[in-house]
Every structure is written in structure tokens, then in C-alpha cells.
Structure 1
Amino acid sequence: MLGNTDPGASRSGRDELETLDDLAALLAPIPFTGRIDGDDAELRDVRQTRALLRRVWTQGRDDAVGEVNRILRDAKALPQLARHDVSDWHLHATVPEAPLGERMRVEAALALIDVIRSNEMARLRLCEADDCSGLVLDLSRNGSKRFCSVRCGNRMNMIAFRERQAADT
């Protein structure tokens, strides 16, 4: 996830969008179609997209609406169905020639529309683990997911276990 490439949220503890190679590694498993320049300007734009998405992730519903509408307006988004390669019908709202960062912002905005309309912004939050600012997308039935990864959950459970053991002695 783009938002968790941030140094405070990444598994490596470093900025995972520091270099063009990092960007290529992020995109490798994702079937992004259309224009990919692979240059420094694109890397800067994708980093700005990451910062925007991290900000929207923690906003309230009404504030998020303003950001989503601005993203769509700035991109002159025109949602339409598309089918290509091995992908069945899905939604695109920019032309394939649009810059990668813009396409990422618009795709995120389209996903956020459903979150906002369903009044489920509370399912987007930050990881509760110490020293982690990872983004959490809580798709659990009861909305109780607290950590961005199993790693963070295990680490916090071990800390709690050790604290209980120390209290018992």
C-alpha cells in the first residue's frame, strides 16, 4: 500500500519511496496500466500522492469529502468503465496518458467515495502499535482491527505479555 511506504509506517523503517528503484518495486506487483515515466518528477508526484492519502486517511468524513472532490476536480475526472489485458470491467476516471501520481490519486478518490457514502471513515485509521504510523484498513466484521500488520500486533502482544509477567512477580 502506497501510504505505508512512509518511513514511520514501512516495514523496513525507511522511506520506501526514496529512489526510482523503490518506485519500480512498488509498482511491480500492481497491474497499473497507462503512462509510467520512471523519472524524478514522477517519483516526487507519487510521494506527494502518498502524503495526501495519509492525510485524508485520518480526516473526518466531511473533510475527506472536500479532499476527494478536489482530487477528482483537479484531474478533470470522467468515470467510465474499461476492460483491458486480463482485467474485467472496472472503473477508470482518467486517460491512460495521465501522470501516474494523478491516476493513483483518482483511483484512491474513487475508493474513498464508497467509504464516505457508507459512513465508514472510522475503518480508516493509524496503527495503534508504539512507534508505528502505519495505515490500517479495517475490513473486519466488528471493526476492531488495531494494527497495520501481524508484525505490529505480535510485537504489542509480546510487550503486553511481558508487562503482565513483570506485574505478577
Structure 2
Amino acid sequence: MEALQTPDRGLHLAVALVNTRTHDPEQLVSPAALRRFLLHHGELEPVDVDAADLAAMIAVRERIRPAFHVPPDAAAALVNDLLAAFAVRPYLSDHDGTAWHLHATRPDASWAEWAAATAALGIATFAAAHGFAALALCAAEDCERVFVNPAPRRVRLFCTPTCASRTRVASFRARRKGESQEGEQM
């Protein structure tokens, strides 16, 4: 398992992992899909995973998900529980000829343990700097994606411009439909 290569890597991993299950089809459907996910998020070969790794990663994902929409005290407790269960005192490593980098899990940690510790540390670091209000669930009714919003005024409500536009168009059409129905009744 690779290290925390940048301070926000853990946060990006948490968001991406949670967003593998939304109203869209499940993305982590096989060990091969989990392997692709890990490689896409910076892990280096060898990435060997099996069905047990997949099940454990999905369980970790579901443990992390509430951090994006529960009250701050509950989110902090959730993150602290993950850190207590999976993280160790960080240490530097240059294993396998890599450059020095930080590890926050045991050397023999599973992929799910690594993801839980890395994501929890990323969320904790981000929340300490920006508050838990900066972790958000998309406001679109038909979206379950989560995102982070470090902007001080927190004006962002949607995960993407696509969700924002789709919501605005639906609202506009509903208003227009309501106006036309009122006009017909007169």
C-alpha cells in the first residue's frame, strides 16, 4: 500500500470511495473493479485483491459515508472510531526502493484497513482546517454523491455543475407547470 503522498490524498480517496455507490450503478462490482479503483487512485503494482478485499472495502465505504452528512459531533466520533480501529502512529518508509513517504497503517494492513485509515486521516485533517460543514452531500434530489467544499462561505450545494443545472431546470419546469395550471383554472 502506498503512502499518503499528498496531504489531501486521503480526502480525495474518501470522496471517491463513497462515490463508488450512488444512484448510478455500483462501481465496485468485482475484485477487478476494486483493483482498477486502487490503481486509479495512485497505488502501485502489485495490487492483488480478492472477493474478501472487495467485501471489506465496501464495508469501509459504508462506514465512511455518514461523515459527509451527519452532525459534526457524530462525524468526529465516526472519524475518531476509524482512526482508532485502523490507523497507527505515522511512520516514514522507503520500502521496495520507493522515495521516503508516510504510512499510517501497519505494514501488513489489508487494502480496506489502509483505505479506512487513509480516508479517516484525510477527513480529519480537512475537517480540522475547514470544519465538518465543508463535507457535503449533493443537494440534488436524485444524487447521492458527496463532495468537499473548502470555500469559506460554503455557497456550493451540488457535487457538479450538471447536478446544479438539472435541479434548476427541474425547478423551473415545475414552476412553469404550476403557472400554466393556475392559468387554466381561471
TM class, shorter-length: 0.7 to 0.9
CA distance in structure 1 between the aligned counterparts of 2:57 and 2:172, rounded to whole angstroms = 40
- Considering fraction of residues, name the structure with more helix: 2
Q: Which runs of 5+ in 1 are unaligned?
A: none
CA distance in structure 2 between the aligned counterparts of 1:71 and 1:109, rounded to whole angstroms = 6
Q: For residue 136 of structure 1, give the secondary structure of its aligned residue in structure 2.
A: strand
CA contact (8 A) 2:67 2:135 kept: no
Residues 31 and 76 of structure 1, relative CA distance in 2, 3 Å threshold: closer
Residues 33 and 63 of structure 1, relative CA distance in 2, 3 Å threshold: farther
Aligned to 1:103: 114
Rg (Cα) greater in structure: 2
Q: For residue 5 of structure 1, give the secondary structure of its aligned residue in structure 2.
A: coil
CA distance in structure 2 between the aligned counterparts of 1:135 and 1:71, rounded to whole angstroms = 19
TM-score by length of 2: 0.74
Amino acid across the alignment from 2:42: P
TM-score by length of 1: 0.81
CA contact (8 A) 1:134 1:148 kept: yes
User: Identity over aligned residues, as a percent?
Assistant: 29
CA contact (8 A) 2:72 2:132 kept: yes
Using the TM superposition, give the Cα deviation of residue 36 of structure 1 relative to its aligned residue in structure 2, in angstroms: 3.7
CA contact (8 A) 1:61 1:119 kept: no
Amino acid across the alignment from 2:57: V
CA RMSD of aligned residues (A): 2.7
Aligned to 2:103: 92
Matched, 1:79 2:93: no
Q: For residue 118 of structure 1, give the secondary structure of its aligned residue in structure 2.
A: helix
Number of residue equivalences: 164
Q: Deviations over 1:53-110 (max 9, x none)?
A: 102222222222322222222225111245689x976542113431111111111111
Q: Which runs of 5+ in 2 are unaligned?
A: 1-15, 181-186
Q: More displaced, 121-130 or 142-151? A: 142-151
Residues 59 and 130 of structure 1, relative CA distance in 2, 3 Å threshold: closer
Aligned to 1:137: 148
Matched, 1:147 2:162: no
Q: Deviations over 1:15-59 (max 9, x none)?
A: 111222321232232112587431000000110111011022222
Residues 104 and 94 of structure 1, relative CA distance in 2, 3 Å threshold: same
CA distance in structure 2 between the aligned counterparts of 1:78 and 1:65, rounded to whole angstroms = 19
